[in-house]
Structure 1
Amino acid sequence: MAQQPQQQPAPPPPQPPAFALDPGRRRWCEEVRAFAARRLRPLAAAGGPGRVNRPLLAALGAPGDDGEPGLLAQVFPAAGPVSALTLCLLRESLARECTEAETALALQGLGAYPVVQAGTSEQRRRWLPEVTAGRAVAAFALTEPEAGSDAAALRLAAEPDGPGRWRLTGEKKWISNAPEADFATVFARTPPVADSHVADSRAADSRGSRGVTAFLVPADRPGLTGEPLRMLSPHPIGTLRFDGVPVTAADVLGEIGGGFRTAMATLNLFRPSVGAFAIGMAQAALDAAVDHAGRREAFGGPLKDLQSVAHTLAETATRVEAARLLVYAAASAYDAGAPDVARWAAMAKLLATETAQAAVDAAVQIHGARALQEGHLLEHLYREVRAPRIYEGATEVQRSIIAKELYRR
């Protein structure tokens, strides 16, 4: 009897290209964009420039009509830390429709994630539900007048005031959400100590990045004042002044002397998503330019038929897509626990923010004078796109990080 032919295994299903989004994630991004356009954009327009928009924050924290958690709950999921890719998709989707909503959500995350990563159970219980609901406004207070890109040079002093007590003296500057935030994650320099809380004795060294401690400081502490700064930014930025502000061991986030590690852990998570914010703006600018070039008549035909315009659009689209893929790759590396996350994060922020600046500039050039009129989408994006090349590590700092990682390898 002839043998039955062996059954061949079924061919594997076709795999999507690397870093392509599955249909479920794409639908979710579309839903976020629709919600931002319908609900968040009007709230953003009603808010005053340079002020915390609390109605907007409340809408970001409110559950959906179907009972689904609010958008801030996606940043602070009950199951644990947020996925870096989820954070990127959320920021990119919001940025395409409402940059004010994107920034409000991102600042909540930046200010409160040190609490997620290093806070005590009491600190988490007290503040995270309020942040997630949009009722408490958070700030990330790292930068100082003489310590910007060189964050390790900070001078805010935590002077001992008895066992487990300090007084903060100094100034923080260019702090988003200051001075209106309800609490701030504050990074201050503590003197060398021999303390059981310090896991690594080098952390007590007061030189450079060592000897920095993170504190959770509520806004109502005596001696804490501040003022807003008038900046090229629609969201609030200001100073915080500390005149002997009392803090205790209960306010410490993580280990005494381990604050710089806490800051870097937060920045490594958020840097790729700064790139996602930039890509959202770049895509919005590109969409506007493509639409305008298809409708605007000049020199006997639509602008899109001019080779110079067509090639600009093609180049911009290619660069935006490349930057998007690098942002997704960096987020995936973070979520996978890759050892070289700092390099991925720096590359993503560098390429995405520089690409976004070029994309918005190209879109303005294609539109002409109308794009510079107050209230135009591109006029708004032109103002918004500049800052991400500076904050959370300027472009030059990202290049230095990348070069350092190359030599480390």
Structure 2
Amino acid sequence: MPVYALEPEQHCWSEELRGLAAERLAPLTGEAAPGRLNRPLVAELGRLGLLARVVPAPVPEPAPDGKGPDSVSTVDLCILRESLARVTTEAETALALQGLGAGPLVEAGTTPQRARWLPPLASGAAVAAFALSEPQAGSDAAALTLTAEPDGAGRHRLDGTKTWISNAPEADVYTVFARTGEAPGAHGITAYLVPADRPGLRGEPLDMLSPHPLGTVEFEGVPVTEDDRIGPAGGGFRLAMRTLNRFRPSVGAFAVGMAGAALDASLHHADERRAFGGPLRRQQSVAHTLAEMATRTEAARTLVYAAAAACDRGDPDTARRSAMAKLFATETAQYVVDSAVQLHGASALRRGHLLEHLYREVRAPRIYEGATEVQRTLIAKELYR
């Protein structure tokens, strides 16, 4: 399998994205309190046409395989996420969360659902959330217990709790996964599109280390109908996994972007900072650390884009390659950011410093969308297929 390399026009697009992020997006960061939804930033992502890359315009009913005909390529998604993350992780995360929340709708939504919600989600006028995780169903997502019980009037009532939900409780619409059958595990789970103004739905924010918006959402008899269902009854878990699988390599791209930002800052600091009679970079231990940071970052980038290209081709080993990319890139980013903090010393721990921000941001991707341990288990299983 050849190593994937970006084409010259893709490099140019990446540079353009970084310029846009610096000029138009970075000034809007911090418009909301930490852990709360930054609507001005989301709206600007929409005005720049970037949200439309992850939330394509309404199209006819999706194909029987559930793949939306206008889905953005995984490689382009990775370029987008890495480029934004090099400049502003807040903008990158806002874009990614919108794509994740709208993912099931893009893949399997009905024509009326898509016509109603995709335009405002693409413009940034509305915000979506992907509501899968529960207090006792995180990595083991198939263990979810939120129920959708028939009420005898042709509707279902949602009861239960979702937690660690990105963009909650401020999202305008939720893609919710609920148990509708008696079958255990992944069977009997159905997806619903639930507007935030439905009676019985309430939420509260969570105060987390990671600075992006996360919350808990309570469902107390929230009514849903067949018109709210996304995809077939009982097909919700497969839809959730397809959505997560599509985004998994791009989580690695987000991590590579953070690693790149930390590396850039460290190269500048080691060149400018004088210690022991010369630039810090002349210290062998510092030079070797920079070399290790750069090598691991480049290796992670190669794995990410190779996995993304495999996804776009539909290669049979996509699951293994995506898991490897997500695993290695997120672990690498943790190492690179930690090393950058060490090289900078106490200044990097000051509130508001780039590395202080990255140090808090970089930890979560090793857990969400499949923790490091889950990726290793998946890789091992794929090796024996």
Q: Which amino acid aligns with 1:160?
A: P
| Equivalent in the alignment of 2:384 | 407
Q: Which amino acid aligns with 1:71?
A: L
Match of 1:190 among 170, 174, 180: 180
| Equivalent in the alignment of 1:104 | 94
* 1:216-254: CA deviation from partner (whole Å, max 9, x where unpaired): 110011100111111112221110000011111111111
* 1:302-332: CA deviation from partner (whole Å, max 9, x where unpaired): 1111111111111111110000010001110
| Equivalent in the alignment of 1:44 | 29
Match of 1:74 among 40, 43, 53: 53
Q: Which moved more, 1:154-163 or 1:292-301?
A: 154-163
Q: Which amino acid aligns with 1:119?
A: G
| Equivalent in the alignment of 1:9 | none
| Equivalent in the alignment of 2:114 | 124
Match of 2:347 among 362, 370, 374: 370
Contact preservation (8 Å) 1:159, 1:191: no
1:395 partnered with 2:380: no
Secondary structure at 1:243's aligned position in 2? strand
The two structures, once aligned, show a CA RMSD in angstroms of 1.1
Q: Please state how far the C-alpha of 1:148 moved relative to its aligned partner.
A: 0.5
Q: Which runs of 5+ in 2 are unaligned?
A: 58-68
Match of 1:179 among 169, 172, 175: 169
TM-score by length of 1: 0.89
Distance in 1 separating the partners of 2:324 and 2:346: 34
Match of 1:56 among 25, 41, 44: 41
| Equivalent in the alignment of 1:200 | none
| Equivalent in the alignment of 2:302 | 325
Contact preservation (8 Å) 2:31, 2:40: no
Q: Which amino acid aligns with 1:187?
A: F
Secondary structure at 1:94's aligned position in 2? helix
Distance in 2 separating the partners of 1:148 and 1:77: 29
Q: Percent identity?
A: 71
Secondary structure at 2:384's aligned position in 1? helix
1:158 partnered with 2:148: yes
Match of 1:269 among 223, 246, 266: 246
Spell out the pairing of 1:2-401 with structure 2 (5 A cutoff). 18-63=3-48, 70-78=49-57, 80-162=70-152, 164-192=154-182, 206-401=183-378
Higher gyration radius (CA): 1
Q: Please state how far the C-alpha of 1:386 moved relative to its aligned partner.
A: 0.3
Aligned residue-pair number: 373
Secondary structure at 2:5's aligned position in 1? coil
Q: Please state how far the C-alpha of 1:299 moved relative to its aligned partner.
A: 1.1
Q: Which moved more, 1:337-346 or 1:148-157?
A: 337-346
Q: Please state how far the C-alpha of 1:164 moved relative to its aligned partner.
A: 4.5
Q: Please state how far the C-alpha of 1:76 moved relative to its aligned partner.
A: 2.7
Q: Please state how far the C-alpha of 1:160 moved relative to its aligned partner.
A: 1.4
